[in-house]
Structures are given as C-alpha cells and as structure tokens.
Chain A
Amino acid sequence: MDKSDLRCQGPLYPRDKTLHPKALTPDYKSSLLRSPKMTLIPMSNTLSEITGPVFDPNILGEFDSDLTKNYCSGKQIGIGEQIIVHGKVFDENSRTIPNVLIEVWQANASGRYRHFSDSYKAPLDPYFGGCGRCVTDQNGCYSFRTIRPGAYPWPNGGNNWRPSHIHFSIFGTSFAQRLITQMYFEGDPLIKLCPIANTIEDPASLKTLVAQLDMKKTIHMDARAYQFNIILRGRFSTIFENKMDGN
C-alpha cells in the first residue's frame, strides 16, 4: 500500500463558503428563482461523498484537447487568436492530482456559442465547435489549445457583457470535490463589471479564476499561453500523515 492510497481516505475539509458565491445574488437575475431559501444542512462525509467517478484516459480522442481542430477532425482550423490554456490541478494541501477529468466549453472568437439557445447575432465559426476535454497527467498538469473566446452581451436587465471566459467542469477524486467554474483572462476590463464574476464577493478568490499570460509557454509565431491553476477541496490527513505534518 503506497502513500497515495492513504492520503485519499480522509474526509474533505469543510468548504470555505466565503470563497464561493452565495446562492442568491440579485445582480445576477437568474439566481432569484433558482436559489434555495433554506440554509444547506451540513453532513459528515461518508463513502458516498469521499468516493467519486473514475475515468479511463482512453476515453479521449485524438483532438479532444485541441478546440482549434476538433470540430473538423483536424482538417480545418477555427478562426481567431490561437491560445494555449494550461495549468496544474492541486488540492488544498498543495498536492497535485493526476487523472482529473477536465471538460471545457466556450464561445467562439466572435462571442457566439454553438448552441440553439444562443440568440446573439455574431456569426458561428464553421470550423469551431467550442468543447474539449482532457485528463491531468501524473504531475497534475493539463493543457488545451483553443481560440480566445470573444466577449458577448447577455440578457440580465441592463447593458451587461460577459468578459471573455472558458467554462471548466472538473472532477477530483471525490464526488464532494465536483466543481464547475469559469476562467477569465488577465487584463480584461469587463471582469469587474460582470454580475456573474461579481457573485464572488472576495476579490482574492475571484482573482484565482483569472488566467495569467505566460510568456514561458507562449510559442513564438504560433500561440500565446495562459496559465490557470485549479485548486480543489483538500482532505484531512490520515493517521500516517498526521505524523508527517504534525497537524
């Protein structure tokens, strides 16, 4: 039995609610009728929360992590600024997590989604679908290549524009770590104006969703890189690790 087995056994740290948006955030109108009114009932983690789905990296197709190519199976390339989005997945104990499934979706360079319910008049890109996925490697690293998504207006009662963003769906090792979030781009002036971004009250917490331009990974004459590290909930130490950490 190796150490990685042991570290997976503890319950999760309680979620720090100050990092997350509240359920009811009136400036984001859709939350009005969809936010529970009663407070969440805390429950102790059982196996049902500590375990979680397991994904075989063999589910991935050749172009799954390359959104510039996957809509046309590599025969055509999506229109717009090519970027690389990469990072590592950690837990709150600073440990990298391998085999994490990450799914992404986004608008095209014009700010239009390939979805029947997107009514924005910006054009669809015939070469861009807008979805991708990958699984973190043994060091917890992931990487996508994509087109930088455009900003777009949305109906929320005012002149609201979403900043450029990529949706992330992330599976850790526990069902209780399940998370969906959005990644923003460094320097985008729309972030601070966005009612959805601003559902996060803590500016330091929001900042962790803002990917930073990464010139080290930027490929000359090809694609700029953005770094976005993902932190999932951590777990209490096992007895074995208590001795190590002294906590």
Chain B
Amino acid sequence: MHKLQRLKEIPSQTAGPFLHIGCIPSQIGLNTLGGIDLGSVLLSKKTKGKRITLTGKVFDGKNIPIRDGMVEIWQADANGLYRTSETKLDGSDLNFSGWGRSHCDFESGSWTFKTIKPGPVMMKNGKWMAPHISFWFVARGINLGLNTRMYFSDEHSLNEKDPLLQELKGTKRIRTLMARKIAENSYEFNIYLQGKNETIFFEI
C-alpha cells in the first residue's frame, strides 16, 4: 500500500472589514446571492426543542464592542445530536441546521441568534458533555479565527460533570465560558479579546 503524501494546511488571513460582502451580503444591501444570507435562519416551525435567543458583543482591548466582526455558531439539536453528512451518525433533527452566522451590528456591536437549547451530547467514551455551543469569531485585526465554547450558567449539575469544564476547574477564567440568563429563554454571552475578563479561546 502506498503511503499518502502529507500536505500542509494553507495559512489563515484576516477576514478584514469587508467580510459582509461575501458572508452576509444582504446586511449591506447586496442581494447578488439571492437575498437570504446563509446561516441567518437555524429554525423552522417544525424544529424540536426550546426556543432561545442568544445575544452578545465582542469587546476589544479598550473594552469597545467590535462592530465589523462576524460570529458563527455550531451546535447539537435538542436531543444532543449533530447534523452531519455521515448518514450513519445522523439521527438529528432535519429541521434544524445547527449552524448560524451573525454579524456584529454596525452601530451597537451586538450579534443575535434565534436557536434552540442544545441537548447534552454523548461522547464516544460514553461520557456526557453539558449543553454547549461552539463559537468562531473573525474580524479585521484577527489573523486566525478564534474558537470558544458557550455553556449555560443555569445548567449547574450538567456543567459539573462536563469533561472540558472539569479540566478547567480551578481557573477563574472558566466563568468566561458561561452565558448569563438575562430573561426567560434568553441568554447573553459576551466575548472579551483582552483584559482581565479575557475569554478562554481554544486550540481545537
């Protein structure tokens, strides 16, 4: 059998200040690609699960909200299953995309997602991950997209058993991964790029 040649990943470059043209064109009045931005809708009426709203801002080193960035999320469905093209794994809710994309508002810097609360996810070793949402953030000035995870602050018992949170136990920064409940079915998750509240970013 031949040994496969190992290639190297191409490098990242910043998404720059004009990322909306390619990723969120309708938000700047460009309807070239059909007028509905990919990732703007995660749900349909048939989607199973508890509807939640997620909002937040991303703060720079001067504690100013970034207004030219973009957030992407990836999450499991209400039963803790991921949408996948690998059909043997996929029993997930076909009425839920699991992937969302929101720009930071041009005035306030707020991003928003209307989604469902994900279920706990079973790992291959049989352990359970607490409900969580993967975040990816890009913007001008960010050379390589930043990965973090959002957990729900009101899921105490599941969070206690989450393998990643257990690994991070003892660090004060663990609180930077917790979304705050701000209203019924509404959570806020602010991301800090620098400073004393700097969010934990993961090398995934």
Interface residues of A (CB under 8 A from B): 1, 5, 8-9, 12, 14-16, 19-23, 25, 28-38, 40-43, 45-49, 51-55, 59, 61, 64, 70-71, 90-95, 99, 101, 103-106, 113-118, 129-133, 167, 169, 173, 175-176, 178-182, 196-197, 199-200, 202, 205-206, 208-209, 230-234, 244-247
Contact = CB atoms under 8 A, between A and B. Distances in A.
Nearest to A177: B9
A167 B12 CA distance: 10
Given A199-B143, A245-B3, A33 B60 contact: yes
A38 B198 contact: yes
B13 A199 contact: yes
B143 A93 contact: no
Contacts of B62: 33
Contact of A181 (B10, B25, B83, B134): B10
B117 interface: no
A115 B204 contact: no
Q: Tell which of A34, A104, A231, A233 has the most Cβ of chain B within 10 Å.
A: A34
- Interface size class for chain B? 35 or more
B175 to A, nearest CB: 14
Contacts of A196: 13-14
Nearest to A233: B9
Nearest to A115: B18
Contacts of B173: 38
27 contacts: A9-B86, A14-B203, A15-B203, A30-B14, A30-B141, A31-B142, A32-B141, A34-B139, A35-B141, A43-B164, A46-B121, A47-B121, A51-B82, A53-B98, A61-B34, A94-B4, A106-B21, A115-B21, A117-B17, A132-B32, A167-B15, A178-B136, A178-B145, A180-B13, A199-B13, A200-B11, A209-B13
B103 to A, nearest CB: 12
